[in-house]
Amino acid sequence: MTEDKTILEIKNLKKNFGKFSALKDITFNVHRGEIFGFIGPNGAGKSTTIRVLLGILKKSSGDVTIFGNDVWKDTVEIHKRLSYVPGDVYLWPNLTGGEIIDLFLKMNNNKHSSRTDELIKKFDLDVTKKARTYSKGNRQKVTLIAALSTDAELYIFDEPTSGLDPIMEEVFQQEVIDLKNSGKSILLSSHILSEVERMCDRIGIIREGKIIETGTLDEMRHLTRSQIIVSTKKAYLKLAVTHMCMI
């Protein structure tokens, strides 16, 4: 078992919805103590992969383990050590944000703590309002506050900042960096590379249900370096342009 270094392992994961093959071949690991960015355009298969990891969807084939345990068979054990924010956030419309945060915490055997209050303040959320009055960003704040005030070993966030304004995105990113600095592991999905490249130790790029690249940003910059050679009449000019693009 490679649990020491690897906290999450996906090997040749496939997932079909009827005849449609949403995940064709997903293989990557998340190491203990790192922030792993799971990057790819809309519809690439990020949420489907994460739903398999969370034991919500059953894989068609492949091996998927967290803490060395099978994500489908050992879901209860895994979830005791995991905290996550799903991509589609559903909140009870007639409960207030504060009630829902406490409910999420209770469902995971946690309690409202001073850390919860600190996060409510940082994310500037009015917890007295009913969820039906919340914007997408406020709904995301509710799930983020609950997830971040849970003490876990591994945190999984599925496009958590897509409805947040830039200031709140900064708050979130700082929280994730703090988690990492305290030894936690993080899987963070996004469809915007620039949003996460600053924080991630390694990234995996997914496209049309396949992982097309995994590594550190430096390794990928090397792989995708384009060289443009421009020659002029007077001098010979060589320009090396390094760029990273979402393929």
Ligand X SMILES: Nc1ncnc2c1ncn2[C@@H]1O[C@H](COP(=O)(O)OP(=O)(O)O)[C@@H](O)[C@H]1O
Q: Counting Cβ atoms within 10 Å, is residue 242 exposed (0-12), middle (13-18) or buried (19+)?
A: exposed
Residue range at the interface with ligand X (CB under 6 A); choices 46-54, 59-67, 164-172, 238-246: 46-54
> Which lies closer to Mg ion via its Cβ, residue 87 or residue 137?
87
β pairing state of 6-17 and 20-31: antiparallel
Residue range at the interface with ligand X (CB under 6 A); choices 39-47, 69-77, 96-104, 148-156: 39-47
Q: How is the beta sheet containing 82-85 ordered, strand by strand? A: 69-70, 61-66, 6-17, 20-31, 210-215, 202-207, 35-39, 185-190, 154-158, 82-85
Q: Which does 139 bind (CB under 5 to 8 A by kind): ligand X, Mg ion, none?
A: none
> Which lies closer to ligand X via its Cβ, residue 171 or residue 187?
187
46 binds ligand X (CB under 6 A): yes
Per-residue binder mask for Mg ion (CB under 5 A), 52-91, x = binder: -----------------------------------x----
Chosen residue from 1, 4, 20, 194 binding ligand X by CB under 6 A: 20
> Which lies closer to ligand X via its Cβ, residue 51 or residue 202?
51
41 binds Mg ion (CB under 5 A): no
> Which lies closer to ligand X via its Cβ, residue 107 or residue 212?
212
Question: Measured between alpha carbons, how far is 58 from 52 in angstroms, rounded to an integer?
Answer: 6
> Which lies closer to ligand X via its Cβ, residue 61 or residue 113?
61
Question: Measured between alpha carbons, how far is 110 from 79 in angstroms, rounded to an integer?
Answer: 12
> Which lies closer to ligand X via its Cβ, residue 87 or residue 215?
87
Task: Give the nearest distance from C-beta 40 to ligand X in angstroms.
Answer: 5
Task: Give the nearest distance from C-beta 71 to Mg ion in angstroms.
Answer: 18
Chosen residue from 28, 36, 37, 40 binding ligand X by CB under 6 A: 40
45 binds ligand X (CB under 6 A): yes
Q: How many CA atoms lie within 13 A of 152 on its CB side?
A: 29
Q: Counting Cβ atoms within 10 Å, is residue 53 exposed (0-12), middle (13-18) or buried (19+)?
A: buried
**Strands (E) located in 87-235:** 154-158, 185-190, 202-207, 210-215, 226-231
Token pair listed for 177: 């960096």
Residue 53 φ/ψ region, left for φ over 0, alpha for ψ in the -120 to 50 degree band, beta for the rest: alpha
> Cβ(134)–Cβ(142) under 8 Å?
yes
| Residues at the site binding ligand X, with contacts judged by CB under 6 A | 17, 20, 22, 40, 42-48, 87
| Residues at the site binding Mg ion, with contacts judged by CB under 5 A | 46-47, 87
